[in-house]
């Protein structure tokens, strides 16, 4: 028998090596070039007035900042979700087509290490991309907040408001500027993109084409976004007071178990843009849910991938 030591069931170090290689691969594929138009968009927002915002005399000047935040968060959500799907869908089938996977799996690399490494690599790149977008958003929002606050101060002073009242008005505007709660919104989108990457990973383990993986992942993304509405329709009494049947209930349960509920993440992001109260425990709950979904999809991917023949 061989005298070399055995290979553990899962090695975080080996998964880390594969993750790092995935990050290098994506970086050298120049995926971060996509950040350039996003940066231009964020900077461009500085010079864009809301059509309903008619200057500081308007009753809610913070609308200007809300629009800025909504557009930035929306762009981040779209970019991170699409990036998660496309990059994950390209990586594993690419390795199979190029036979790179042969040489990796012929080394003492458990298949779980490979899957976790690929997923961590994609999630790391999403994290860095979102961090860059977040910094851009915070910087541009800061200057926008300063401008709107100054404009409001000048206007209120001109119409004869007292110093204290002006300060209160400006404080209300500043509260809609960069804040910790806004970071929760960004984090919610990062969590969501990570789950979408895990979904795409699962599909790519049994899919025969990149196109199928992308199309199916987009479909799950859409189902995840509307599933809470569907569940509401199936589990609650209808307009005419009709109780949902057994089939409806089973279907609803399956949908809620199989597809992630992205509405939760959207509500956090929406609440963050509106400066609503979001606690640390809410975020911990969301983080736990994200971990749960990622773990489930990764284990399922492993089940499929461990028996795959090449």
Partner 1 sequence: MSEVPAVQVNRLVKDFKGSFRGGGIRAVDEVSLSIAPGEVYGLIGPNGSGKSTTMKAVLGLVKPTAGSCAIFGRDSSKVDSRMEVGFLPENPYFYKHLSAAETVSFYGKLCGMRGAALKARVNEMLELVGLEEARHRRLRGFSKGMLQRIGLAQALVQDPRLVVLDEPTAGVDPTGSRQIRDLILDLKGRGITVFLCSHLLEQVQEICDRVGIIHRGKMVNEGNLEELTSMHDRTEIILQDAPPELLEQIRNLVDQANKGELVSEGHPRSSLESLFLKETIEAESKQKAASTK
Residues contributing to the site for partner 1 (CB under 8 A): 1-2, 4-7, 14, 17-18, 21, 24-25, 28-29, 98-100, 102-110, 307, 309-310
Q: How far is the CB of 4 from partner 1 (least distance, A)?
A: 5
Nearest to partner 1 of 67, 112 (CB atom): 112
Q: How far apart are CA 91 and CA 110, in angstroms?
A: 18
Nearest to partner 1 of 6, 160 (CB atom): 6
Q: How far is the CB of 192 from partner 1 (least distance, A)?
A: 28
Cβ-based neighbours of 185, under 8 Å, separated by 6 or more = 69, 73, 268, 269, 270, 271, 272, 273
Nearest to partner 1 of 21, 256 (CB atom): 21
Nearest to partner 1 of 20, 66 (CB atom): 20
Nearest to partner 1 of 210, 267 (CB atom): 210
Please compute, for residue 138, the number of CA atoms within 13 A of its CA located in the half-sphere on the CB side. Answer: 15
Q: How far is the CB of 102 from partner 1 (least distance, A)?
A: 5
Residue 144 near residue 46, CB atoms below 8 Å: yes
Q: How far is the CB of 10 from partner 1 (least distance, A)?
A: 11
Q: How far is the CB of 75 from partner 1 (least distance, A)?
A: 27
């Amino acid at each position: 028998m061989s005298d070399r030591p055995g290979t553990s069931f899962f090695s975080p170090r080996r998964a880390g090596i594969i993750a790092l290689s995935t990050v290098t691969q994506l970086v050298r594929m120049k995926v971060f070039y996509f950040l350039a138009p996003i940066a231009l968009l964020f900077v461009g927002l500085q010079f864009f007035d809301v059509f309903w915002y008619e200057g500081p005399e308007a009753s809610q000047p913070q609308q200007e900042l809300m629009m800025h935040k909504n557009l930035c968060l929306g762009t981040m959500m779209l970019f991170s979700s699409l990036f998660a799907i496309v990059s994950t869908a390209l990586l594993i089938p690419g390795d199979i087509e190029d036979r790179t996977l042969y040489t990796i799996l012929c080394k003492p690399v458990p298949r779980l290490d490979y899957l976790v490494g690929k997923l961590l690599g994609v999630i790391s790149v999403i994290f860095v991309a979102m961090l860059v977008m977040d910094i851009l958003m915070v910087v541009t929002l800061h200057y926008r907040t300063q401008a709107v606050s100054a404009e409001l101060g000048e206007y209120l002073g001109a119409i004869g408001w007292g110093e204290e009242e002006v300060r209160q008005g400006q404080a209300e505007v500043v509260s809609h500027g960069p804040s910790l709660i806004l970071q929760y919104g960004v984090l919610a989108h990062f969590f969501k993109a990570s789950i979408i990457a895990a979904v795409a990973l699962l599909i790519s383990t049994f899919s025969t084409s990149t196109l199928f993986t992308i199309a199916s992942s987009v479909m799950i993304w859409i189902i995840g976004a509307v599933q809470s509405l569907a569940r509401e329709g199936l589990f609650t009494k209808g307009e005419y007071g009709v109780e949902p049947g057994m089939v409806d209930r089973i279907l609803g349960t399956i949908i809620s178990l199989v597809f992630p509920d992205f509405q939760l993440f959207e509500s956090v992001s929406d609440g963050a843009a509106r400066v609503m109260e979001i606690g640390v425990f809410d975020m911990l709950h969301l983080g736990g849910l994200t971990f749960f979904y990622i773990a489930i999809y990764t284990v399922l991917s492993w089940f499929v991938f461990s028996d795959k023949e090449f």
